[in-house]
Amino acid sequence: MSRATKRIIGNISVLTVLVALVAVLAFSAMSPTFLKNDAKLTAEANAGTPIVQALNTPKATPTPSLAKKVDPAQAWADDMINLLLNGNSKSSFGDFNKDLPHHYIESWSQPKQGVLAIEVKDRNWSKCDLDSLGMNVLDTAGWDNPGLIQVVVSNERGSLVRESPTNEENKNRESAIPDSCA
């Protein structure tokens, strides 16, 4: 059989299927009972079938003594850290360059209203390194968040505590480079 003959037979087959499909659809549209459920027949068929309802089981609720209490101060600090990560297009601290203190952030908290305290792993961080981290937090998390007024960065031993300028002082700076780095 030649290729042209096979193509003609294939086209006729496809055309036949399409004509049959259109005929079934046209017939079902004109006939009110074709392809429709018969409520009486359905009820008779299901008469012997038991209907099983889901059991109404009570949901467990934690007792007040075991419920985890959310610390609003820590939740706020967590939000600021998420803003820092998102503002720098990072999903974790490990995504930051290893030469930056950002890579070594270990903990954060809100010791008092509007203050974000960040602790980094102990290294020989310069004042410039810690001030840069604090300014970066204010630039990313604090720009549209007036509730963040100050960032305090320290190392594990607490010996190099550096306070960044307040958010308003930071916004009015002529340079993005901290004074300690100039």
Structural domain includes residue 55: no
Whether residue 67 lies inside any domain: the answer is: no
Whole-model pTM: value is 0.55
Task: List Cβ neighbours of 91 (8 Å cut-off, separation of 6 or more).
Answer: 85
Residue 58 lies in a domain: no
Query: What confidence tens digit (pLDDT) does each residue in 74-87 have?
Result: 999 999 999 899 88
How far is residue 47 from each of residues 27, 36, 90, 106, measured CA to CA in Å?
31, 19, 61, 66
User: Does 12 lie in the same domain as 90?
Assistant: no
Question: How would you write the pLDDT of the chain (182 residues) with one tens digit per residue?
Answer: 888 898 899 899 999 999 998 988 887 777 766 666 667 767 776 676 666 665 555 555 555 555 567 788 899 999 999 989 988 898 889 999 998 999 999 999 999 998 899 999 877 888 888 888 888 888 888 777 888 888 888 886 554 444 555 555 555 555 556 666 76
Residue 89 and residue 154 in one domain: yes
End-to-end CA separation in angstroms for the chain: 87
Residue type, 26: A
State whether 37 and 127 are in the same domain.
no
Burial class (CB in 10 A: 0-12, 13-18, 19+), 40: exposed
Residues 101 and 17 in one domain: no
Asked if the structure places residue 12 within a domain, the reply is: yes
Domain range for 120 is: 72-181
Q: Is residue 54 part of a domain?
A: no
- Pair 11, 95 in one domain: no
Whether residues 83 and 14 share a domain: the answer is no
- How do 115-120 and 150-155 pair as beta strands? parallel
Are 21 and 78 within one domain? no
Residue 107 covered by a domain = yes
How many Cα neighbours within 13 Å face the side chain of 41? 4
Encode pLDDT of 3-16 as tens digits.
Answer: 889 889 989 999 99
Which tokens hold the place of 61?
């609720």
Whether 113 and 40 share a structural domain: no
Instruction: From 120, 174, 104, select the one nearest 152 (Cα to Cα).
Output: 120
Residue 83 in any domain: the answer is yes
**Structural domains in the chain (count):** 2
Instruction: Assess whether 86 and 140 both reside in one domain.
Output: yes
